[in-house]
Structure 1
Amino acid sequence: MQKSPYVFDVDVDGFEERVLQASEGQPILVDFWAEWCSPCLALTPALERTVGAYGGQILLAKVEVDDNMKLAGHYRLRGFPTVILFHKHEELGRFSGARASHWIEEWIDQHWR
């Protein structure tokens, strides 16, 4: 299966440039997840469908927390998955846990539009 052009992996070294600076132009959802986390794995398809539905207006950055604990600590994450929406360098909102695509779309519209 081909990976979506709207989804990319990011680590602590690239976070400033690929998420915070890039969010100046368009909103970026950041999915903090872990391979051992079942709800994280369940959320991934819903997030990918959601960003696909926006047709490139929103991007999805995936941060594997076991390899990037500094980022998880910096954003004071208490559980996984946690998704944070950034736009213009600002955190617009966050949610935790697995959610359906329609819920995520409504959440984005409430926080971004």
Structure 2
Amino acid sequence: MSDQVPEHLLPQQVVQVRPARVTDAYGSETWDYEGGATRTPITGWIQQDSRARAAADGRDQQTEGWLLITNHQDTGPLDQYEWQGLTFETNGPPNPVFTPRGLHHREVALVIYTG
């Protein structure tokens, strides 16, 4: 019996983007999700959990909530995830899921803002 989600239930190929800390032209530290970032292929299950449209200040903004389920244990609150041409931001700290046998998998709340 495995202590993780069986791999055949995590069929989606996702790229985890871990940003690099860099200093910008003004001397401030910021996060680089492009050239300095580390990209790690992982497997998981991604599903859309919610979507909302809010018109405010003349904007037509849509917020989509997604969930990533993965056995990949190295997940962080600043990570982004790329899947099928979409880039997701992590929405809060990743949630470790435990069973009586110990750590089972991670659930990462994701968000996309458009508009």
Q: TM-score range by the shorter chain?
A: under 0.3
Decide which structure has greater strand share.
Answer: 2
Decide which structure has greater helix share.
Answer: 1
Using the size of structure 1 for normalisation, the TM-score is 0.25
Using the size of structure 2 for normalisation, the TM-score is 0.25
Greater relative contact order structure (CA < 8 Å, 6+ sep): 1
**Radius of gyration: which is bigger?**
2
